Chains A and B, each alone.
Chain A
């Protein structure tokens, strides 16, 4: 382990908070998806750090699974963004405030 685990966790927490702030504050659907990406990246950093800390390969495999899940999430999410843009000609989240079947 090249650095103490605490420093790695602090870095990952800061990245996670930045992504969470992006999700909470931004009103643009694509920026919200980017915030989710940032949070997922920080989780991957923790997994790789844990893998190095215990010297087991399992954490890295979880990162691989996380990447596959992220790819699926982004595919569905961006398809939804395109669909919503077709419906309302805008991707501002303030417009999508009604839920009707």
Chain B
């Protein structure tokens, strides 16, 4: 029962955070809101019986991909820097962030505080990391190999696209 209630609350938080993310003028604010949306989705994953995927969602999406976004935004200096926006964010900017963050923290604490052995707290069916790993590395072993190839291709592609003109000319002279 409490899990069902939490699902709707987290769904509302995810929708609200995503809606705030897509209307921001400043991409940095958008990324911050999107991180909140990703946390809410990770808690929903946990409620749906996917604890490992929930952890990976936080680690990979919020920890790696969003930080990459922030890195590129700050490297390119694409944030609007007019004289009006230099002032510190006021309550209008702070209120939604704080509201969403506090809701997420409260829901996380409730989820931690629930007795894990009680039938209400954890979902009745859930894939333990052991089941997940067996299935991943036995039935889907080929997919893991293909994915590793694809990640290395992506690394090579990103390296090639990111090369500067001078470096490219140097490489062409050598060859």
Contact = CB atoms under 8 A, between A and B. Distances in A.
Contacts of B164: 86
Contacts of A70: 61, 65
Interface string A31-42: 101110110010
Interface in B52-67: 52-53, 56-57, 60-61, 64-65
Given A37-B61, A38-B34, 7 more contacts: A8-B48, A18-B18, A33-B69, A45-B44, A67-B60, A72-B150, A91-B76
Interface string A66-80: 011111111110111
Nearest to B33: A34
B4 A2 contact: yes
Given A2-B4, A2-B7, A48-B45, A75 B155 contact: yes
Given A2-B4, A2-B123, A48-B45, A28 B37 contact: no
Contacts of A81: 72, 76
Contacts of A82: 72, 75-76, 161-162
Interface of A: 2-3, 7-8, 11, 14-15, 18-19, 21-22, 25-26, 28, 30-31, 33-35, 37-38, 41, 44-45, 48-49, 51-52, 55, 57-58, 60-61, 63-65, 67-76, 78-83, 85-86, 91
Contact of B21 (A8, A34, A68, A86): A34
Given A67-B61, A68-B150, A78 B136 contact: no
Interface residues of B, number: 61
Contact of B65 (A44, A64, A65, A71): A71
Contact of B69 (A11, A26, A44, A74): A74
Contacts of A11: 11, 14-15
